[in-house]
Amino acid sequence: MFRIQDLAKIYTRRGQQVVAFETPSLDIPPGQYVALVGPSGSGKTTLLSILGGMLSPTRGQILLDGVSLYEQTPAERARLRGITIGFVFQAFNLVPYLTALENVQIPLYLAGVNKQKQREQAAELLGHLGLADRLHHKPCELSAGQQQRVALARTVANNPPVILADEPTGNLDPDSRTHVLNFLDDLHGRGRTIVVVTHDPSAAQRAQRQLKLRDGAIIEELTAAKVSRAA
């Protein structure tokens, strides 16, 4: 799925170079659930953004299913992202004047799905996330946790094979946190490749693999068995 080779993202600040992220190699095979953990500023979000085709590296190559992401034109990369990658962020980016149902319908509408099918699929996803009674509520009528669940439903509406999530449970109430994590588990069980940035150890333990970052480098890797023993 993802293959990184001799990759680095380096910024220049006040005449000095700052390494945001650097690694000689990294592979994430199809269907793997990976958690990126580490302190703030360790390079987690930088890596996630590079994987998502949103942040060009200073050097190196990243392949997504054999396609070199940053050798594509911006339009080609955007098209590839649109059919392959779903993003989940702490900022929900919901359209404020649309209902929960209508927000989830957006990617289905853009994909040319007929209106009735849009509604059915959106309602099913929202119901799966515990929002069956909130279909016609606008974002301002929803809690932060409910808005995150709507954003997650919208992210997966077109069945992208890859889900990239940046702190998807940050500042959520316990009920919403459980819904989000269980939904990610379910997506992984259905074969999705998932990469999650998190500060939450219990959320990270759900992953098959943990990559611990510090100062822009991967300093430790835990597989599922080691994660379980560490818990």
Residue 93, number of CB atoms within 10 A of its CB: 12
Interatomic CA distance for residues 228 and 110, integer angstroms: 41
Q: Taking 50 as the threshold, does the pLDDT of residue 127 lie above it?
A: yes
Tokens encoding 57: 């590296």
Check if the beta carbon of residue 129 is closer than 8 Å to that of residue 182: no
Q: Report yes or no on 130 lying in a domain.
A: yes
> 115: pLDDT confidence band, cut at 50, 70 and 90?
very high
Cα separation of 230 and 204, whole Å? 11
Q: Is 184 helix (H, G, I), strand (E, B) or coil?
A: helix
Residue 185 DSSP SS3: helix
Q: Give the range of the structural domain holding residue 99, as residue numbers without chain letter.
A: 28-56+72-230
224 belongs to a structural domain: yes
Residue 211 domain flag:
yes
Query: In the predicted model, is pLDDT for residue 213 greater than 50?
Result: yes
| Range 21-50 average pLDDT | 95
**pTM, full prediction:** 0.89
10: in domain = no
Task: Provide the number of structural domains found in the chain.
Answer: 1
- 64 occurs within a structural domain: no
Q: Buried b vs exposed e over 94-128: b needs ≥16 C-beta within 10 Å?
A: beeeebbbbbbbbbbeeeebeeeebbebbbebbeb
| Domain assignment present for 6 | no
Model confidence pLDDT, tens digit, residues 78-91: 888 888 999 988 78
For residue 71, give the nearest of 81, 80, 61 by alpha carbon.
61
Over range 15-41, report the average pLDDT.
Answer: 94
- pLDDT greater than 70 at residue 231: no
pLDDT digits (tens, 9 = 90+) for 63-77: 999 999 999 999 999
Is 17 contained in some domain? no
Domain CATH number, residue 151? 3.40.50.300
157 lies in some domain: yes
